[in-house]
Amino acid sequence: MNTQSNKVGRIMMSLGTVLLAGAVLAQERPRQPAAAPSHDHDRVLRHIATLNIELLRDVEFGKGGDRPLKLHILRPKKPPAEPMPVLVWIHGGAWTTGNKDTGLYRLSFFAQRGYFCVTIEYRLAGEARFQAQIEDCKCAIRFLRAKAKEYNIDPNRIGVWGGSAGGHLAALLGTSGNVSALEGHGGWPEHSSNVQAVCACAAPSDFFKWDKGAFSAGIDLIGGPFDTNKEKAALASPVTHVGKQAPPFLIVHGELDNTVPLRQSQLLHAALQKAGVNATLHVESGAPHSVLGGGPHTKLQRMIDEFFDKHLKAGKANP
C-alpha cells in the first residue's frame, strides 16, 4: 500500500512539475498582437461594399519597363468640397511577393474618414532588380499630382505608409525626394515625387549595417552581396539620402522583430533627428515583425491615424 502510494505521489509530483514548466513558458513566450480581421479578398470586398466609399480598381498610373503599372483607389462616395489629403499604401513581401490588394482593408478606414486612398503595385525583384521598385513608387506619386484636379485631391498633402519591404520603400520615398537618379522614366516627369508624411513600419533602412548572412531578401533586391554592389546598396538605403528636406516620419518597429532588426529603425530615426527632421520612433512592446498584425482598432493604429491627421488633415502641409 505504501509502495503504491509513493508511486502515485511521484506521478503527481512529475505532473505538477510539467504544469509549472508550462506556466513559466507561457509567461515567457513573446506576446503576439491580436489577430487582424481576415484579409481574404472576397471578404474584404464585401466589407468595402458595406461602407460609404468607392473602389476604383486597376487604374493605370505609368510604365514599369515595358508594361503598365496599376493601382487601386478608395475614396468617399460623396467627396468633400475641399481637395482631399492622399494616403498611399505600399505592400510588403520581401520585395519578391505581395500585391496591392493587401492594402484595401487598412485603407478602407481612412477612406471613411475623408482620405483619398491608393494602394500601388511595383515591380518585384524577380521581375526587375533595384531600382525599379522605388522608380515605380515615385511614378505613382507623380501620377497623383498630375491627376490632382480630376480626383479632387491636394497635391501638397500626400502621405505614404508601408510595412517591411513596403516600409522601406515608403521611407526611401521620404528621404530621396530630391534624388533625380531614382526617379525613373515611368511617366509624368513634370511633377514632383516628394511626399509630406511617412509612416515606415519594420523597415530596412541601412543595408550596410545588417548582420552578414541575415538578409537574403536584400541581396535578391540588389542583385548580389552589398559589399560588391556598394553603389546600389547605398542608393537603396533610406539613411543615405536623409536631409533636412525630409517630411515628418513616424517609425514603428516590433520589439521582438527577428526578421528586420530593431536597430534598422533606430538608425533611421537617429539620422533623421540629426538632420533636424520631425521624427518619432515607436517600439511596440512584445511585437514581432508583423507589427501591424493587431488590425485597425488598436492603440498603435490610433497613433498612426493621429500622425497622418496631424500632418495631412490639420492645415495644408508644405509642398
pLDDT digits (tens, 9 = 90+) for 117-155: 999 999 999 999 999 999 999 999 999 999 999 999 999
Q: Give the per-residue pLDDT at 295.
A: 73
pLDDT average, residue stretch 199-217? 82
Tallying the residues shown for the chain, one arrives at 319
Cβ-count burial of 309 within 10 angstroms (0-12 exposed, 13-18 middle, 19+ buried)? middle
Q: Give the per-residue pLDDT at 39.
A: 56
Alpha helices in the chain (DSSP H): 2-28, 41-49, 104-112, 132-146, 148-151, 165-175, 216-222, 230-236, 262-274, 299-308
Quote the CA–CA distance of 37 and 43 in Å, as a whole number: 10
Is residue 46 helix, strand or coil? helix
pLDDT average, residue stretch 247-268? 96
pLDDT average, residue stretch 157-175? 98
64-108 pLDDT, tens digit per residue, is: 999 999 999 999 999 899 999 999 999 999 999 999 999 999 999
In degrees rounded to 5, what are phi and psi of residue 203?
-100, 130
Query: For residue 315, what pLDDT band results from cuts at 50, 70 and 90?
Result: low
Helices 165-175 and 132-146: crossing angle in degrees, nearest 10, is 60
**pLDDT exceeds cutoff 70 at 217:** yes
**Domain made up of 40-313: CATH architecture:** 3-Layer(aba) Sandwich (3.40)
Whether 148 and 155 have beta carbons less than 8 Å apart is answered as yes
Q: What value, to the nearest 5°, has the Cα angle with vertex 74 and ends 317 and 238?
A: 50
Among residues 277, 275, 270, which one has the least CA distance to residue 249? Answer: 277
**Residue found by looking up cell 533623421 in the block:** 272
Among residues 114, 53, 116, which one has the least CA distance to residue 89? Answer: 116
- Its pTM stands at 0.86
Q: Give the per-residue pLDDT at 60.
A: 98
Domain map of the chain by residue range? 1-29, 40-313
Quote the CA–CA distance of 318 and 224 in Å, as a whole number: 38
In this structure, what C-alpha cell is assigned to residue 209? 549595417
36-67 pLDDT, tens digit per residue, is: 444 588 999 999 999 999 999 999 999 999 99
